[in-house]
Amino acid sequence: MRGEFCDPLTASLLRASLVQELGLLGDEEVIKMCRQNFKNYLKDRTSVPADLRPPTFAIAMRYGNAVTWQKLHELGLKTTSTEDKQNYYDALAFATDSKLIQKSLAIALTDELPTSRAVFMVAKVARESDRPELAWEFAKRNAQALIAKVDAVNANSYLPSLFTFFSDPARIEELKAFAQKNLSEPSRKPVEIASDEILFHADLRKRLIEQIQSSSRSE
């Protein structure tokens, strides 16, 4: 019968994942809880269990404002804990206001985070903000500085990988044109992979829309 129950670690991870997903889907009770948890956390760091801190910060930022961004950023700058620092900076990527998104992206060019983490802040923002176009424009403007921070293993795939967050097939031609003009031959495979990802997301999006429309008509 033991198999019917989750071990404590698994249960903790599932709880955190559920809170975050419900919050991102707009569950008002979860959003309210995360906002209150964040307020409590600012007064007492022990008030929020460790497993609930990442989703609490993420949802607080998702539905927060410049003040929320600033508080998380200050926490990230001051902490000496590697885990806490990651949680704070990861949460900044969930901002949806374009000005705050730009501030989160700019962190990639600073030395606030270890180089390996800083450079992938761009991809984190592209995914969590739901504004991959802003992340791509930022990366394009600062391509040289960003590539200089990427290790040799990821250098060829770094820029193409940012296109994996798009679902518009038109972006494939944009990527190929950019790669032909700016990237070397070793980037060819990552470009193909990114192109396949775009097509996958486009097809998935199309099928989901069709299902929703079908459900609406049947009602």
The pLDDT value recorded for residue 207 is: 86
Say yes or no to pLDDT of 1 above 60. no
The pLDDT value recorded for residue 218 is: 62
DSSP 142-176: THHHHHHHS-TTTTTTHHHHGGGG---THHHHHHH
Token pair recorded at residue 104:
């989160």
More confident residue, 28 or 215: 28
The pLDDT value recorded for residue 206 is: 83
pLDDT one-digit tens code per residue, 171-202: 999 999 999 999 989 999 999 999 999 999 99
**Left (φ > 0), alpha (ψ -120 to 50) or beta: where does 130 sit?**
left
Say yes or no to pLDDT of 210 above 90. no
pTM: 0.88
Mean pLDDT of 123-148: 96
Mean pLDDT of 74-95: 97
Mean pLDDT, the chain, whole residue set: 92
The pLDDT value recorded for residue 7 is: 72
The pLDDT value recorded for residue 86 is: 95
Lowest mean pLDDT among 5-14, 100-109, 110-119: 5-14
CB 195 within 8 A of CB 176: yes
Q: pLDDT class for 91, splitting at 50, 70, 90?
A: very high
Q: pLDDT class for 11, splitting at 50, 70, 90?
A: confident
The pLDDT value recorded for residue 6 is: 58
Query: 135: Cβ–Cβ under 8 A, 6 or more apart, which residues?
Result: 101, 105, 122, 123, 125, 126, 129, 162, 165
Coil, strand or helix at 64: coil
The pLDDT value recorded for residue 4 is: 53
The pLDDT value recorded for residue 208 is: 81
The pLDDT value recorded for residue 3 is: 47
Task: Please report, for the chain, the start and end positions of each structural domain, with discontinuous segments joined by +.
Answer: 151-219
Percent of the residues in the chain that have a pLDDT greater than 90, as a whole number: 82
Query: 159: Cβ–Cβ under 8 A, 6 or more apart, which residues?
Result: 139, 143, 146, 147, 178, 179, 182, 183, 187
Token pair recorded at residue 176:
């190929």
